[in-house]
Structure 1
Amino acid sequence: MAAASSTLFSFSFPFDPQIQTLSFPLSSAKPRFSPKPFSTFKLTSTHSSSSSSLTVSDDPFNTGRFLSNDELRRLRLLETFLYRCDLPSGGSLSVRVMRPHETDPTVLLLAASFAESMLLPQPYVKFLAFLVKQYLLDRRSLMPHTATLVAFYTQTAAAAADQDQEQEQEARLAGTVELSFDIRGANATVPSPTPPRDKPYICNMAVRKSLRRRGIGWHLLRASEELISQMSSAREVYLHCRIIDEAPFNMYTKADYKIVKTDSILVLLTLQRRKHLMCKKLPLLSTPPETDLSVSDEQKTM
C-alpha cells in the first residue's frame, strides 16, 4: 500500500458498462515514468520456473519481498493463468496477469478512461497517469493476494476484411481489471457500501475506447471469476455499481450478481454518486484451492 503520508482519492466513472470504480493514492514522490502511447503486444507463451526463489532480477513476477512456499505456488498460478475466447463481433481475446513491461500502457488506459468519463482536459491525463502508476506499483507488491489482469484483442483477417481495414494479427491491449483475493490484498480505502475485506473484490475495470461494445467487459468479468475460483476458497465475490449506470447494472445482473447493500441518500452530501454493493456466489471447484489466503501466515501458526 501507499506510505502513511500519501492521500487516497476515490473516483467513480460515469456511464459505461465496462468501467467501474477507480481508487489510487497521491504520493509526493517524483514521477517514475514517462507515459508512452498505447502499444501493441505479441503474446508469448509463459513457462513457470522450477526455482523456489523469486529473487532473480529477470523474474517478471518478482514482488520485492520474501514469500512463503504457498505464496510462491500461488504466484506461479498467476503467472500461468490464461483466459481465451472468440468474440461474436470477430476477433479473439486473451486475458492474463499484467507483466511489468505492460504497466505503462495499462496506466494510460486507466488514466485516459477516467479523464474521458469526467470530461477532464487532456493535460490532466499525465497527472492521473502518475497517480495510477504509483497505485499499480503499490498493488503489485501485494501479489499473490491481488492481481491486475490485462486483456489483449486480436482481430481476425475475416473481420478486418469486413471492415475494410488492414489485416492486423498483433494483439492490442484492450482492457484491464483489478482483483483482490483476501484480506491481505484488500485495499485500505474502498467506495461505500464497504465490502468484506476478507472476500474477493473486483474493481478498476476499463476497456479501450475503440474496442468497446464488443463484449470485452463481459469476458474480463468472467476471467476475473475464473481466477478468483482458483486463488481463493471464498465463494462470494463483490463489486460496486453506481445506481445511475444502467448498462453495467444489467451486465452484472445477467452475470448473477445481486444487490446486498445500497448507499444512503446522504452520500450525495459528499459529492459522490450512490452505489450498489453487489455480490455473486461462485460455484465450487471440483478441486478447491489447497489453502485459503484469507488467513494470514501469522494466524496459521497460532
Structure 2
Amino acid sequence: MAATALSLPLYLDPKQQQHFHTHLNPTKGPPFLSSRNTFLSLHKLHRNNFKCSLPSSSSTNSVTPAQYYSFLDDPFRGSRFLTNEELENVKTLESFVYFQELESGSLWVRVMRNEEMDLTVGLLAFSFAELMFMSLGYEALLRFFVKQYLIERRAVMPHAVTLVGFYREKGGLRGEELAGTVEVCFDKRGANASPPTPTPPKNSPYVCNMTVTKHLRRRGIGWRLLKASEEIISQLTSSKEVYLHCRMIDEAPFNMYIKAGYNVVQTDSIFILLTLQRRKHLMCKKLPDFNSFPESDMSDSGVELPL
C-alpha cells in the first residue's frame, strides 16, 4: 500500500516517549476524550473517472443546524458550538462521496461513520502490528490507543476528518468490504498537536494515517485514497498546498508521491535516529484545479511505518 504518516505517540513512561509514525495503504462518532494516563497514553494520534457528490448551494438556507448535526453523534452535538461556516463544512463532509471504477472492482470513499469506527480501528491496529513485527497479542492494546485517537480526532471535525474506502469486486460474492482509510487535516484547529518531523505548517492541509486492507493491496486503492483526500481539501479550503510525510526507506510510496506531484521540501536530520525514529521526508504538492487531477494505474506498494 502506498501511504502517508500516522502519528501514534505512546507514553510508556513519564520520562520516555516513543513515537510511532506510519504510512498506511461504513458510522457517527463519540465525544472528545482525553487519553492521557500516568501509565500509558495516546496524544493526538493521523476506466478511470471519479465523481463527487456535494451539497447544492441552493439548499443552504433551508437546512437547519439540527439537520447538520444529524451527521454527528448525540454527545458531539452538545460538546461545543459550531459556527455557520463549520456547519456548512459538516454538511459538505456528510455529502462527500468519491467513486472510482477500478480494473478489478469499484471503490467508494466517504467520511467514516460512527458504526464503522471499530472496523477502522481494527484495520489500523493490524497495520501497526504487522509493520512493527509485533505479535497479535499486542493488537488489543493497539486497538485501545487507536480508538481513543479516532475519538479525539472526530471531536475536531470539520477541521479534520477520517475517510474510509469501501470496495466491491467485480462479479464477487463478498459484497462491500472496508478497503482502506486516510485522515485529512484541513487547518490549524484540526492539526495534530504532536506532528511527525519535519513539522508541516500547522495551518496547511495535511494527509496522514493511510492504510489499505492487506488482501486488497496493489489494486490502486492507495492512489485513490490520496486523490479523494486532495479532492475534499479542494472543496473545504482555499489552500493550494497539501503536505504529507514519507520515510526515506520507503522507495515505492515515495515514487508514488512523486508521480502524484509531491516534492520534498525538508528531510529529517540524521540525529533523528537517536530518538529511534526513521528519517522522513516532508513532501508538498501545489493542488491544481479541482477537475484536473491526473489519474494513474499506480498500484499500492505495501505499508510503511516511519519510526
Q: Which moved more, 1:71-80 or 1:5-14?
A: 5-14
Partner SS state of residue 233, structure 1: coil
Tell me the distance in 2 between the aligned counterparts of 1:61 and 1:99. 9
Tell me the distance in 2 between the aligned counterparts of 1:128 and 1:149. 20
Q: Evaluate the alpha carbon distance shift between residue 225 and residue 46 of structure 1 in structure 2; reply closer, same or farther with a 3 A threshold.
A: closer
Partner SS state of residue 244, structure 1: coil
Q: Evaluate the alpha carbon distance shift between residue 76 and residue 61 of structure 1 in structure 2; reply closer, same or farther with a 3 A threshold.
A: farther
Report what 1:208 is aligned to.
213
Tell me the distance in 1 between the aligned counterparts of 2:19 and 2:257. 21
Is the counterpart of residue 273 in structure 1 residue 282 in structure 2?
Answer: no
Aligned-partner residue type, residue 207 of structure 1: V
Report what 2:158 is aligned to.
144
Aligned-partner residue type, residue 97 of structure 2: L
Indicate if the aligned counterparts of 1:115 and 1:121 stay in contact, CA closer than 8 A. Answer: yes
Tell me the distance in 2 between the aligned counterparts of 1:256 and 1:264. 24
Indicate if the aligned counterparts of 1:96 and 1:149 stay in contact, CA closer than 8 A. Answer: yes
Tell me the distance in 1 between the aligned counterparts of 2:54 and 2:136. 36
Tell me the distance in 2 between the aligned counterparts of 1:86 and 1:278. 28
Is the counterpart of residue 53 in structure 1 residue 62 in structure 2?
Answer: no
Q: CA RMSD in A?
A: 2.9
Report what 2:186 is aligned to.
181
Structure 1 runs not aligned, ≥5 long: 19-24, 30-44, 161-166, 287-302
Give 1:77's match in structure 2, choosing from 75, 79, 92.
92
Tell me the distance in 2 between the aligned counterparts of 1:54 and 1:197. 31
Partner SS state of residue 53, structure 1: helix
Tell me the distance in 2 between the aligned counterparts of 1:156 and 1:55. 35
How high is the TM-score relative to the length of structure 1? 0.76
The CA deviation at 1:9 is 5.3
Is the counterpart of residue 263 in structure 1 residue 268 in structure 2?
Answer: yes
Aligned residues: 251
Give 2:118's match in structure 1, choosing from 79, 104, 129.
104
Tell me the distance in 2 between the aligned counterparts of 1:9 and 1:51. 45
1:183-262 map, 5 Å: 183-262=188-267
Report what 2:48 is aligned to.
none
The CA deviation at 1:61 is 5.7
Q: Evaluate the alpha carbon distance shift between residue 108 and residue 66 of structure 1 in structure 2; reply closer, same or farther with a 3 A threshold.
A: same
Tell me the distance in 1 between the aligned counterparts of 2:143 and 2:282. 27
The CA deviation at 1:171 is 1.1
Indicate if the aligned counterparts of 1:93 and 1:154 stay in contact, CA closer than 8 A. Answer: yes
Aligned-partner residue type, residue 51 of structure 1: T
Report what 1:11 is aligned to.
20
Aligned-partner residue type, residue 221 of structure 2: I
The CA deviation at 1:66 is 1.3
Is the counterpart of residue 156 in structure 1 residue 170 in structure 2?
Answer: yes
How high is the TM-score relative to the length of structure 2? 0.75
Report what 2:41 is aligned to.
none
Tell me the distance in 2 between the aligned counterparts of 1:241 and 1:230. 25
The CA deviation at 1:13 is 3.6
Q: Evaluate the alpha carbon distance shift between residue 55 and residue 178 of structure 1 in structure 2; reply closer, same or farther with a 3 A threshold.
A: closer
Q: Evaluate the alpha carbon distance shift between residue 66 and residue 26 of structure 1 in structure 2; reply closer, same or farther with a 3 A threshold.
A: closer
Tell me the distance in 1 between the aligned counterparts of 2:68 and 2:81. 9
Report what 1:36 is aligned to.
none
Tell me the distance in 2 between the aligned counterparts of 1:153 and 1:201. 24
Report what 1:86 is aligned to.
101
The CA deviation at 1:123 is 1.1
Q: Which moved more, 1:62-71 or 1:238-247?
A: 62-71
Aligned-partner residue type, residue 181 of structure 1: F
Indicate if the aligned counterparts of 1:84 and 1:95 stay in contact, CA closer than 8 A. Answer: yes
CA deviations 1:182-207 (Å, max 9, x no partner) are 01101100110000000000000011
Partner SS state of residue 202, structure 1: strand
Q: Evaluate the alpha carbon distance shift between residue 26 and residue 245 of structure 1 in structure 2; reply closer, same or farther with a 3 A threshold.
A: farther
The CA deviation at 1:226 is 0.2
Indicate if the aligned counterparts of 2:231 and 2:290 stay in contact, CA closer than 8 A. Answer: no
Indicate if the aligned counterparts of 1:237 and 1:281 stay in contact, CA closer than 8 A. Answer: yes
Aligned-partner residue type, residue 100 of structure 1: N
Is the counterpart of residue 124 in structure 1 residue 138 in structure 2?
Answer: yes
Tell me the distance in 2 between the aligned counterparts of 1:253 and 1:125. 33
